[in-house]
């Protein structure tokens, strides 16, 4: 199944384009007529258009990648990320600070009416519990300032993946109105549950077998990468023109199913 969207004449930059959700998103964009600039550590095996190497953990690499982007993008789709089995410092750099730096640097290259979509996770569903800290981090002015904040403020290293996905949801939501008002660009995020990609087993390690198995049971199994790619492309398209600052949960109903277990008393 494919989205019935005509994206001819549109050009998108996609991070993480070489594998998983990013690869599925890139292929579907091309099938819909869009041009794609693939941003990743390694070039995609698929013939999807231009490739620019980027290491989101390295500010210099981000700056170099942005310098190679054209000035007429229709959107930026931030799909790249690392699992919770990597070092907390790397998680901070790739899943939040690098993504944020890239996004802020690319905004001038996105035409008015364009869109940014960030891939968060249902692991970040408890962002409200830590919103004060996340807003402090969001207020830091640069990659380096954010890294300094991370170094001196307490945050749960043992749940670094979830914590920085929370931070991404908060940053996306908090900045959305200002970005639209100043640049005419919409920014939203999606929060997938378990997805059938090579790194699913690493999530069993970092998030815990019980949590992942519960989400799989509630959602009816793991999503395919294409199941996440379609909503990403929808949010990047004009069909979602009135959606701003939203976090779209894509987990087969796993999160919603938990409401059935809440006991209400009069």
The answer to whether 118 touches 189, Cβ cutoff 8 Å, is: yes
The Cα–Cα gap between 182 and 193 comes to 32
The Cα–Cα gap between 79 and 15 comes to 5
Name the active-site residue from 12, 143, 161, 203. 161
Count Cβ atoms within 10 A of the Cβ of residue 168 and give its class: 0-12 exposed, 13-18 middle, 19 or more buried.
buried
Residues 6 or more apart from 17 whose CB is under 8 A from it? 23, 25, 26, 36, 38, 39, 40, 44, 48, 51, 79
Annotated active-site residue 96? The verdict is: no
The Cα–Cα gap between 103 and 15 comes to 11
Residue 181 tokens read as 């008002």
Residue 8 tokens read as 């001819």
- Catalytic residues, by residue number, are 161
């Amino acid at each position: 199944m494919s989205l019935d969207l005509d994206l001819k004449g549109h050009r998108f930059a996609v991070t993480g384009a070489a594998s998983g959700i990013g690869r599925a998103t890139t292929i579907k964009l091309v099938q819909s007529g869009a041009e794609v600039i693939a941003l990743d550590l390694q070039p995609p095996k698929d013939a999807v258009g231009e490739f620019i190497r980027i290491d989101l953990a390295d500010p210099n690499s981000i700056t170099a990648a942005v310098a190679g982007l054209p000035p007429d993008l229709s959107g930026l789709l931030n799909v790249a990320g690392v699992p919770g089995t990597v070092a907390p410092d790397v998680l901070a750099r790739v899943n939040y600070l690098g993504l944020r730096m890239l996004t802020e640097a690319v905004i001038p290259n996105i035409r008015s009416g364009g869109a940014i979509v960030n891939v968060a996770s249902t692991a970040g569903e408890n962002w409200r519990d830590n919103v004060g800290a996340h807003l402090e981090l969001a207020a830091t002015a640069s990659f380096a300032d954010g890294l300094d904040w991370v170094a001196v403020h307490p945050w749960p290293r043992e749940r670094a993946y979830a914590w920085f996905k929370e931070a991404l949801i908060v940053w996306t939501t908090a900045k959305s109105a200002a970005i639209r008002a100043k640049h005419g660009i919409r920014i939203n995020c999606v929060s997938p549950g378990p997805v059938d990609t090579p790194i699913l087993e690493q999530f069993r390690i970092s998030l815990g077998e019980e949590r992942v198995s519960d989400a799989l049971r509630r959602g009816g199994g793991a999503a395919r990468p294409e199941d996440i790619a379609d909503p990403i492309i929808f949010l990047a398209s004009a069909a979602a023109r009135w959606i701003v600052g939203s976090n779209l949960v894509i987990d087969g109903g796993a999160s919603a199913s938990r409401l059935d277990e809440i006991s209400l008393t009069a």
